[in-house]
Amino acid sequence: MTGITKDHPRYESLITREKIVEGVNMGITSKQGLVAQGRGEAFDYILGEKTIESAAIAERAAVAYILLAKNPIISVNGNTGALVPDQLVSLADITGARLEVNLFHRSDARVHKITEHLKAHGAGVVLGGKGDKRLDLSHDRAIVDEEGIFSADVVLVPLEDGDRCQKLVEMGKTVITIDLNPLSRTSLTSTVTIVDNVTRALNNMIQFTKDMKGGSKDSLQAVIDAYDNDRVISDALYSMQEHLKNKAEEKGITWI
Ligand code: ATP
């Protein structure tokens, strides 16, 4: 890693960037993943690089869905594999969900590398290597495991692409996404849209699972019943606008 010191105002963001570059060097992350990260960084800056309250509400609803699911799957791509391997493994462990590698730019070698990387971070079984079913999509994200994403009732897909998200929803699945762009097709299609950085979102979800796991099924269902995804997306947009307005005023720029 380069000499980034903790007093740098963009410290977390720059460390995240370094991890993605390392992911590319290790053959885990695709070059296109670097560009996706850049887009995420821009939205995170506009959001204020923090978890907003509505995102925390979405994260709690996501945990409730996962804890009530019969076959919950956490989909892992090259970006999340590089950025948050420990958190993916922890979340799978405490919720009972299984990890499945699923890639847009798929090669057997990269699936294998990500699988081994997750195992080195403590994962047990990692699905995705069989690829024995296809979703009705024209790209490689269509390739899934029958016992995993294909038959899952709840799928957590951090950093999704809009096409697959839509397909999974059409198949009747509950789809939870983490995407810093509240207006992406992914965000607008999901059952639960978490507008937060994946690095913060997964840490929060691990903590919320610890808090909620002992609760009754009814209490988890009540969290789901009270959840309003349209409101969460609306609030993310409003929060971005407010953050920009405050920033502008702080710097003496008039907000018109
Ligand atoms: P869609 O197909 O849904 O319209 P897209 O084409 O806008 O998606 P992609 O380039 O496929 O987007 O994926 C990148 C998405 O992931 C962007 O919306 C970006 O904001 C988001 N993103 C990137 N890095 C992160 C991160 N660390 N945490 C959360 N979201 C991120």
pLDDT at 6 over 90: no
Beta-carbon contacts of residue 223 (< 8 Å; ≥ 6 apart): 60, 61, 64, 212
Q: Please report the sign of the dihedral spanned by the C-alpha atoms of residue 182, residue 187, residue 191, residue 194.
A: negative
Q: Give the residue, out of 18, 159, 161, with the most ligand 1 atoms within 8 A of its beta carbon, to mutate for a pocket test.
A: 159
Task: Please report whether residue 30 resides in a domain.
Answer: no
Query: In the beta sheet, which residues pair with residue 144?
Result: 133
Residue 224's CATH number: 3.40.50.12640
Instruction: Tell me the pTM.
Output: 0.95
Query: How do residues 160-176 score in pLDDT, each as one tens digit?
Result: 788 999 999 999 999 99
Of the candidates 20, 124, 122, the one whose C-alpha atom is nearest the C-alpha of residue 77 is 20
* Ligand 1 pocket member 180 (CB < 6 A): yes
How far, in Å, CA of 203 to CA of 194, rounded? 13
49 torsion bin: left (phi>0), alpha (psi -120 to 50), beta (else) = left
DSSP symbols for 1-60 = -----TTSTTHHHHHHHHHHHHHHHHTSS-HHHHHHHHHHHHHHHHHTSS--HHHHHHHH
pLDDT value, residue 7: 84
In a domain, 38, yes or no: no
Q: Give, for ligand 1, the residue of 179, 190, 203, 204 to mutate: max count of ligand atoms closer than 8 Å to Cβ.
A: 179
Would residue 105 count as lying in a domain?
A: yes
Mean pLDDT of the chain: 95
Q: Which atom of ligand 1 is nearest to the CA of 43?
A: 20
Classify residue 231: in a domain, yes or no: yes
Residue 205 included in any domain: yes
pLDDT at 246 over 80: yes
In a domain, 203, yes or no: yes
User: d(Cα 72, Cα 77) in Å, to the nearest integer?
Assistant: 17
Say if ligand 1 is within 6 A of residue 139 CB: no
Looking up tokens 């038959």 gives: 151
Examine residue 251 and state whether it is found in any structural domain, yes or no.
no
The model's pLDDT over 25-34, given as tens digits with 9 standing for 90+, comes to 999 999 999 9
Does the residue 224 lie in any domain? yes
**Residue 192, strand partner residues:** 176
185 assigned binding-site residue? yes
Tens digit of each residue's pLDDT (9 = 90 or more) over 119-169: 999 999 999 999 999 999 988 999 999 999 999 999 999 987 889 999 999
Distance 188 CA to ligand 1 centre (A): 12
Domain count for the chain, please give it. Answer: 1
Position 256 confidence tier, pLDDT thresholds 50, 70, 90: confident
The residue among 127, 121, 69 whose CA lies nearest residue 98 is 127
Residue 220 makes CB contacts below 8 A (sequence gap 6+) with: 64, 67, 68, 212
Sequential DSSP letters for 221-255: HHHHHT--HHHHHHHHHHHHHHHHHHHHHHTT---
Find the domain containing 83 and state its range: 53-237
